[in-house]
Amino acid sequence: MRPEIEYIAISRHWWDKRNGNSYFSAQVFDIRMTLVKVLPFQYGDESQMQDVIVSWVQAINPVHEHKYDVWQKIYFDRNETTKRDCVALGSVVMEGEEE
């Protein structure tokens, strides 16, 4: 039986064709669509992005769970996009944080 989804990770991925590198940015929401984390534009592929999100969710939960169990509680929405859109998604300032 699959665990209930507790987090939604919306991510954007951009492939730099000129230099052969991949980049991503993401926003993590709880199930009530409250923004809980913004991951800025950074180097990495899909697996690195998922590892960063899973590690962060593991860190905020009081009960330590195995990485795979935490991964099952996250819905990943990943889209290929332009660099501009990828940077914009990671540039959001959360409420209570300074720029």
Q: Give a three-class secondary structure readout of the chain.
A: CCCCCCEEEEEEEEEECCCCEEEEEEEEEECCCCEEEEEEEEECCHHHHHHHHHHHHHHHCCCCCCHHHHHHCEEEEEEECCHHHHHHHHCCCCCCCCC
Sketch the domain layout of the chain as residue ranges.
Answer: 7-90
This prediction's pTM = 0.84
What is the per-residue pLDDT across 5-44, written as a single tens digit (0 to 9) for each? 999 999 999 999 999 999 999 999 999 999 999 999 999 8
pLDDT at 13: 94
